[in-house]
Structure 1
Amino acid sequence: MNRRAQAVTMLLLGGALLRATFADLHLRYVKEALGPFLIAAGAVLVAAGAMTLWYDLFGSKADAAADLPECADDGHSGEDGHGQRVHKEPRVGWMLLLPVLGLLLVSPPALGAYAAGQAGSALSTQQQSDFPALPPGDPIALNVSDYAARAVFDKGVSLQGRTVELTGFLAANPEGGQYLARMVLSCCAADGRPIKVGLAGDAPTGQADDRWVKITGVYNDRIGADPVNKSQIPYLQVTAWAPTEQPRNPYE
């Protein structure tokens, strides 16, 4: 891989990173808060690639030749068309094209029902209590993790007499019916774990796993156990539900 190829590779990698970030594709891989850092990294790669390419095309040939170190003939060097000694870069550099192709050609779905079924609920890692009162107005939109934490750790005190609205995807409940679930990330999709809420009352039936739904309901004091890690799983008494589109950011 010569200097020009290195420059083009940096341009492609930086451009792919910027495209993925501005098109919200990065939300399938990492937390939304990391977006500005990805933009900065992509911009640096594009700038470095552009400067390298400009210097290779228009820079002083004399300066370029003066910068070349003298090295022994170790099988990685040769002569260019002008008799100058040129050091050949290792071929492993071409591997940098793999993440470029991955970002440009592959668009994996967000973690869903299968991942939720393989991992135990992350609720057991939270240690919240003394939740503040919910703002006025019903129904109030809550994160699945917020409802689950209030239902388990606050015994539903802050949910009494309130109607809530949760958005998530459906996942199989081994005890019958389906969970409403949402994946939470600490950093990236590799550490994603589910938050699960059991559904009672007029819950969805006959729906496919991974179907995104918006559910309205009230607190139910039933507590189940996650079959994977025995964490507590709260329930919601469903009063109404409707299919919905996957949100811009599928993770919490």
Structure 2
Amino acid sequence: MNRQAQAVVMLLFGGAVVKASVTDMYLRYVKEGLRPFLIAAGVLLIAAAVMTLFYDLRKTADHDHDHGDGKPHREPRVGWFLILPVLGLLLVAPPALGSYAAGQAGTALSNQQQMSDYPPLPEGDPARITVLDYASRAVFDKGTSIGDRRVQLTGFIAEGADGHPILARIILSCCAADGRPIKVGMSGDAPSGLAADTWVEVVGKYTDRTATDPVNDESIPFIEVESWRQIDPPKQQYE
């Protein structure tokens, strides 16, 4: 692959990074706070590609190189196929991690620090908290910091080990490559008949019911659902 082909691939890749960064697309790959770094990286790639093309086009032998044998030499064209995945990133945006990823990995709750003193729940009825916050309080605090208050959780539907739907959310340390699921079982007036990856808001109370995740044998807490409603996927789908 010659320099021009390398520069074109670099230019397209940089453009794809910038395009994803200036829209909400980047939230499917990394945490929200990394946007400035992605934009900077994309701009640097574009600048490097433009400079490479500029200097290479000034040379007299742009495509054919004389090796002293009187015969023109062409670089292998197969290198241009490297453009295909970059074009795919530009034209087709893969979805955020969802129910399939949740089913393949064990709950990440075992990797969270076990706190002994949780802060009070937010004000309001119901109290809006994350799936991770509820699961941590339910497992490690035995629901003490929740009490009899109603809470509202937002997540997507995934299939549990027993075939019943569970509420899940993917948490990130940095990017989608290290995404792990948080899983919460649902009892009471739980959603039914919904396809996997359907986003819902559920309102309910703490219950001491738990299940065991068959992937890593960690505890999956439950919530006693009082009501629920289907919603559109949020802009930030990771916690």
Q: Same fold (TM over 0.5)?
A: yes
Asked if 2 retains the 8 angstrom alpha-carbon contact of 1:139 and 1:163, the reply is yes
Picking from 106, 116, 121, the partner of 2:107 is 121
Asked if 1 retains the 8 angstrom alpha-carbon contact of 2:184 and 2:220, the reply is yes
Equivalents in 1 of 2:53, 2:162: separation in Å? Answer: 61
**Which residue in the other structure is 2:49 paired with?**
49
Equivalenced residue count is 235
Asked if 2 retains the 8 angstrom alpha-carbon contact of 1:223 and 1:235, the reply is yes
Scaled by the length of structure 1, the TM-score of the pair is: 0.82
Equivalents in 2 of 1:109, 1:5: separation in Å? Answer: 29
**Which residue in the other structure is 1:153 paired with?**
140
Write out per-residue CA displacement over residues 46-98 of structure 1, whole angstroms, 9 at most, x where no aligned residue.
122233344455xxx5xx57xx9xxxxxxx9427xxxxxx9976767535423
Percent identity over the alignment is 61
Structure 2 alignment gaps of length 5 or more: none
Paired residue secondary structure (1:235): strand
Asked if 2 retains the 8 angstrom alpha-carbon contact of 1:78 and 1:88, the reply is no
**Which residue in the other structure is 1:82 paired with?**
none
Picking from 89, 92, 100, the partner of 1:103 is 89
How far apart are 1:34 and its partner, in Å? 2.6
Asked if 2 retains the 8 angstrom alpha-carbon contact of 1:199 and 1:237, the reply is yes
Write out per-residue CA displacement over residues 112-136 of structure 1, whole angstroms, 9 at most, x where no aligned residue.
2222122111111112211111232
Asked if 2 retains the 8 angstrom alpha-carbon contact of 1:127 and 1:153, the reply is no
**Which residue in the other structure is 2:21 paired with?**
21
Q: 1:174 corresponds to which letter in structure 2?
A: A
Structure 1 alignment gaps of length 5 or more: 69-75, 80-85
**Which residue in the other structure is 2:200 paired with?**
213
Q: 1:16 corresponds to which letter in structure 2?
A: A
Asked if 2 retains the 8 angstrom alpha-carbon contact of 1:184 and 1:193, the reply is yes
| Aligned-residue RMSD, C-alpha | 2.8
Paired residue secondary structure (1:182): strand
Asked if 2 retains the 8 angstrom alpha-carbon contact of 1:17 and 1:39, the reply is yes
**Greater Rg by CA:** 1
Scaled by the length of structure 2, the TM-score of the pair is: 0.86
Equivalents in 1 of 2:138, 2:2: separation in Å? Answer: 60
